[in-house]
Structure 1
Amino acid sequence: MSVAVGVDDLTAWLRRFAEVVHERRDELTALDAAIGDADHGSNMDRGMAAVVAVLDDAPPTDAAGLLKKTGATLVSKVGGASGPLYGTLFLRMAGAAGDGDLDDAAVARALRAGLEGVLARGKAEAGDKTMVDALGPACDALDAGVGAGKPLADALAAAAEAAAQGRDATVPLVARKGRASYLGERSAGHMDPGATSVTMLVEAAAATMGRS
């Protein structure tokens, strides 16, 4: 049976993600220090804190509006590559959300639209050692689970597992995009911070959505 995902569910997801990012900010920063600008943790923490502040102050009343506001907030508050990429992810999700609550298939379509936006914005492909390496497998697993008629909670759990596997698979890769690509072969042996934060995002979705 499909479960309707509405504003309350999406809000719980975003709040959970913000909590995890805050708790693991130093971990994200350390990962980024190895191959980037050492600011992924602080940037994402600042951005998600701003999103939570918006939700507290003037929460949107529909799913698409909530996703759009989240994307716009991240674009305006997060520096580096994370702001435009995560902002695009949520803005594209908003565009695919349509009116009203989301059923299981709509959740999968929205996340897939977010991935397509990230691909277009970042010009990255699978294997480039970016957030795409976690987000792509997550979308594939979510599509497969929903398509097979699994409960949304189970499909999201599978998506979170796939994201984690994609994240872990970035360790031996040589970066081909972003600041990490400047290191060449020296970027191998390090987990990608963007793939790590995306895994947190999908794990937060699995922990909060499709359980009512």
Structure 2
Amino acid sequence: MDQVRNDAAGFVVTDLVAVMKANRAYLSEIDGAIGDGDHGINMSKGFGAAGERLAGAPAGLSQALATLGETLIEGVGGSMGPLYGNFFGAMAEAVGKRDVVDAPTFAAMLDAGLAAIQEIGGAKVGDKTLLDALVPARDAFAAALAAGRSFSDALDAMAAAAEKGKESTRDLVARVGRASRLGERSKGVLDAGATSCALILGSMARSLKSQL
């Protein structure tokens, strides 16, 4: 069946924890080019703390996402803690107490997560932020479903669009955040937020597909 049981999908979040910890140095290196260089450190710390809270206590996807969101808001400094914390918290609410996670449910999760981020910040696509990966990914997932493609295929489309969006930030000038002070000098490198967003969406796609 083209769905995953909510109460058995907490592994999606534990997989995310592993991905963020594995990419700690990579994300900080990217961030160091035009930022503080601590994005990977903060993400690894926040996701790692969530992993510790979830260890030994199997959770459904909604519970695990809520725990991750709360932990990121409480324990990650800068703008990324609130942004990703609210992103995952909104995704958790979109799943709620549903028995299964299917394509329409995941589409609702993406919509809710994006809306939560947009409520906090004033960035838009083209400003060299995580939205340059998230918005195309959400749109690609929705377009795949509208074309009658399977949940698995839609996840592939989402991950590919996130990667393409991430790569697009290399040619963009930062319009918001600390990097915006560099102006044209911010061009030529990837945005750390877009990179972590692509890693997150890619990981979620792989995890869900493994059970479809």
Mapped partners of 1:200, 1:85: distance in 2: 16
Query: Is 1:6 the counterpart of 2:6 in the alignment?
Result: yes
Task: Please say which of residues 152-161 and 142-151 is displaced more in the overlay.
Answer: 142-151
What SS class does the counterpart of residue 102 from structure 1 fall into?
strand
Equivalent residues, number: 210
Structure 1 match to 2:152: 153
* Paired position in structure 2 for 1:83: 81
8 Å Cα contact 1:96/1:109 also seen in 2: yes
Which residue is equivalent to 2:27?
A: 28
Contact 2:103 2:151 in 1 (8 A): yes
Q: How many Å separate the matches in 2 of 1:27 and 1:106?
A: 32
Checking the alignment, whether the CA contact within 8 Å between 1:7 and 1:66 is kept in structure 2 is no
2:39 aligned partner: 40
The within-5 A match list for 1:163-174 is: 163-174=162-173
8 Å contact kept, 1:5–1:209: no
1:72 aligns with 2:82: no
Whether the aligned pair in 1 keeps the contact of 2:50 and 2:71 (CA below 8 Å) is: yes
Give the CA deviation at 1:143.
Answer: 1.1
Are 1:111 and 2:128 counterparts? Answer: no
DSSP 3-state at the match of 1:154: helix
Shift of residue 58, structure 1, vs aligned partner: 4.0
Give TM-score scaled by structure 2 length: 0.93
Aligned residue type for 2:170: V
Matched, 1:98 2:96: yes
In the alignment, structure 1 segments of 5+ residues that lack a partner are none
- TM-score norm. by structure 1 comes to 0.93
Equivalent residue for 1:185?
184
Task: Decide whether aligned partners of structure 1 residues 119 and 199 sit closer, same or farther in structure 2, where only a CA change above 3 A counts.
Answer: same
Q: In structure 1, how many angstroms separate the alpha carbons of the residues matched to 2:48 and 2:122?
A: 28
> Displacement, 1:55?
1.2
AA aligned opposite 1:121: I
Q: Does 1:127 align with 2:126?
A: yes
Name structure 2 gaps, 5 residues minimum.
Answer: none
Q: d(CA) in 2 for partners of 1:200 and 1:185?
A: 26
Give the residue type in structure 1 aligned to 2:42. N
The two structures, once aligned, show a CA RMSD in angstroms of 1.5
